[in-house]
Amino acid sequence: MKSGKGLSIAALVCGIVSIILAWFYMVNIVAIIAGVLGIVFAVLGMKNSKAAGESTGLATAGLVLAIIGTTFALIGFLSCTVCVCATKGTLDGIASGLQNLN
């Protein structure tokens, strides 16, 4: 029977990477991908660990970290994108106002 330990460790690593990269704009896209992969690895690791009669602690930790990292990355990406779009709209308005002065 296959052990789920390798998948559980991969889930834990992906979860940690997603939390770290979630704080940087445009890099948090990689964090979203790592988080989703971490969730998939954790679920598969839990399934294999339960089938082998092993502990699912690593998979659970990886799942929690991956969910938190994915959530942070999504919130960060969306909020930064809204901020950049609002700034662009404001600057476009200022530029058109300055052109009307001439």
Q: Where are the domains of the chain?
A: 5-101
Buried b (16+ CB within 10 A) or exposed e, 88-98: eeeeeeeeeee
In the predicted model, is pLDDT for residue 1 greater than 70? no
> What three-state secondary structure class fits 39?
helix
Q: Model's pTM, two decimal places?
A: 0.83
Query: pLDDT digits over 44-87, tens only?
Result: 999 999 998 898 999 999 999 999 999 999 999 999 889 999 99
Residue 102: the pLDDT is 66
Residue with the two structure tokens 């999504």:
74
